[in-house]
Amino acid sequence: MKDLWLVIAGMTLVTFLPRVAPLLLLPGRKIPKLAERWLSLVAPAILAALLTPELLLDRTAAPMLLNPRVLAAIPTFLVAWKTKSLFAAVVAGMAASALLTY
């Protein structure tokens, strides 16, 4: 049981430290433009890495353009790109998915 608590404490530190370190070390410091630009691309890259397999690796025999997930993703991406709003993209995706389901 002691080992379990040590593992939980270690995992907590490993997860917590990278998130809190920038908050403690960077206030008041200017980040170089190159680092700022690179960091701005991390979230879209992670989102693409999560969504691409879900959209392109279909487990059915349906052609990709008939896949409801791909069809729902198209208006979702367009709304996200045009509005730059996560809320609008989520609403568009849910509406497209609902329309394609029914």
Residue 69: give the domain boundaries. 31-101
Is there a domain that residue 97 lies in?
yes
Hey, CA dihedral for 20, 23, 26, 32, is it positive or negative?
A: positive
| Residue 64 in tokens | 């990709």
User: Residue 35 and residue 63: Cα distance in Å, rounded?
Assistant: 41
pTM score, whole prediction: 0.55
Instruction: Judge whether 56 and 48 are in contact, CB under 8 Å.
Output: no
How confident is the model over 22-41, as pLDDT tens digits? 888 878 888 889 988 998 88
User: Residue 52 and residue 96: Cα distance in Å, rounded?
Assistant: 18
pLDDT value, residue 6: 95
| Residue 14 in tokens | 């490993």
Over residues 2-23, the mean pLDDT reads: 92
Dihedral angle computed from the Cα positions of residues 16, 19, 21 and 27, in that order, rounded to the nearest 10 degrees: -140
Is there a domain that residue 65 lies in?
yes
How confident is the model over 38-85, as pLDDT tens digits? 988 888 888 888 888 877 776 665 666 677 888 888 899 899 889 988
Is there a domain that residue 69 lies in?
yes
Q: How many domains does the chain have?
A: 1
How confident is the model over 84-95, as pLDDT tens digits? 888 999 999 999
